[in-house]
Amino acid sequence: MSANATRIEAATEPMFPMRVVTRTTGLTSDLVRAWERRYKAIEPGRTGGNARRYSQADIARLELLRDAVAEGHAISRVASLDNQALDKLRMSRKESQQKLTTESVLERYLAAIARYDLPAAEALLSRAAQLLGPRETVLNVVSPLMRTVGERWHAGDTTVAEEHAVSAQIRGLLATLLRTATLPSGAPRILVGAPAGHHHELGALIASVLAAEAGVQPIYLGPDVPWKELGVAAKAARATLIVLAMSLRPEAPTIRREQTELARLSKSIDVWLGTPSNYAVQAGAKVRSFHDYTTFETALTHRFKL
């Protein structure tokens, strides 16, 4: 057992207020309370006035949970693990990650695609997902892979057939990550998809995986969803937010139509968009645009106080 795990087993007297916990761990007070309330990750003591008090062991456990979540594990999956298991998980993943770099995966994957060895390419993606976890896989493998393939396609260094093969494998991987996500009962719900005329769904799938890893239930509808059905679906699904992937910048007439649809839709629900950086949306205060996944992930965490 590491020194950190040993330290967790000691110092169990609840004596520290929340401000010490947040300063020590870097976690927000809302997040600590959510982990306590939803997942029973820790059980702090209480003062006579019912204020929370945390022990050194509580703080050390929160640090292990923080590290596990940062490495791509869903809090719903790791909150029930004991301290020794969390510490072992962190150490084993650190060793595995030292053997696996994003650059090596991308290089070997694209080489396999170039020779149409699709089983080998798929095995590389699956192995990366097993070692890195869903969050790090989508941010550090899938997203760079999509960007690299797009750049090579525009430069004429990748064929359409190769690009289709990559897209099909990424779609399958993301669908698997989304299907196997475990969420707590009562998790907040969001509607995710791509609106009418937008057929590229990988961005929406990535947003769905990140949402699930953050503890939000994504209701994924896929690409080319009619505008008029989005609000109806959100209401039926009890979603409080709609997230739309709009990966290609449309022509001016289409932009105007989409601005109108967004203004109408956002009268009843907040709408977040994943768009190219040159697609400036002006459709009301309840519409927000994102151009990268980490900013979206941070905003989602803040919105639902996860």
Span 257-280, pLDDT tens digits:
888 899 899 999 999 999 887 776
Q: Does pLDDT of 14 surpass 90?
A: no
Q: What is the pLDDT of residue 10?
A: 46
Q: What is the pLDDT of residue 250?
A: 63
Quick check: 17 and 51 in contact, CB under 8 A? yes
- The segment(s) of the chain belonging to CATH 1.10.1240.10 are 100-179
Q: What is the pLDDT of residue 275?
A: 86
Q: Does pLDDT of 235 surpass 70?
A: yes
Q: What is the pLDDT of residue 130?
A: 85
pTM, rounded to two decimals: 0.67
Which carries the bigger pLDDT value, residue 11 or residue 79?
Answer: 79
* Mean pLDDT for all residues in the chain: 87
Least confident of 23-37, 88-102, 210-224, 280-294: 88-102
> How would residue 31 be classed by pLDDT, with cut points 50, 70 and 90?
very high
Please give the average per-residue pLDDT across 186-192, as a whole number: 95
Which carries the bigger pLDDT value, residue 100 or residue 65?
Answer: 65
Please give the average per-residue pLDDT across 58-82, as a whole number: 88
Q: Does pLDDT of 49 surpass 60?
A: yes
Q: What is the pLDDT of residue 95?
A: 52
- The segment(s) of the chain belonging to CATH 3.40.50.280 are 189-304
- The segment(s) of the chain belonging to CATH 1.10.1660.10 are 3-89
Which carries the bigger pLDDT value, residue 119 or residue 280?
Answer: 119
Please give the average per-residue pLDDT across 215-230, as a whole number: 95
Give the model confidence (pLDDT) of 123-141 as tens digits: 999 988 888 889 989 998 9
Q: What is the pLDDT of residue 94?
A: 57
Break the chain down into helix, strand, coil percent, rounded to 5: 60, 10, 30
Q: What is the pLDDT of residue 93?
A: 61
Q: What is the pLDDT of residue 103?
A: 75
Q: Does pLDDT of 5 surpass 60?
A: no
Angle at 44 between CA 40 and CA 46, to 5 degrees: 130
DSSP 50-107: --EEB-HHHHHHHHHHHHHHHTT--HHHHTTS-HHHHHHHHHHHHHHHHH--HHHHHH
Fold of domain 3-89: Multidrug-efflux Transporter Regulator; Chain: A; Domain 2 (1.10.1660)
Burial 144-178 (b: 16+ CB within 10 A, else e): ebbebbeebeeeeebeeebbebbeebbeebbeebb
How many percent of the chain have pLDDT more than 90? 49
Nearest-angstrom CA–CA distance, 150 and 192? 23
Q: Does pLDDT of 209 surpass 90?
A: yes
CB count within 10 Å of CB 90 equals 20
The superfamily in CATH containing domain 100-179 is Methionine synthase domain (1.10.1240.10)
Q: What is the pLDDT of residue 9?
A: 47
Fold of domain 189-304: Rossmann fold (3.40.50)
Nearest-angstrom CA–CA distance, 154 and 138? 22
Q: Which two tokens stand for residue 55?
A: 């022990």
HSE-CB at 163 with a 13 A cutoff on CA atoms is 17
Q: Residue 249 carries which DSSP code?
A: P
Q: What is the pLDDT of residue 8?
A: 44
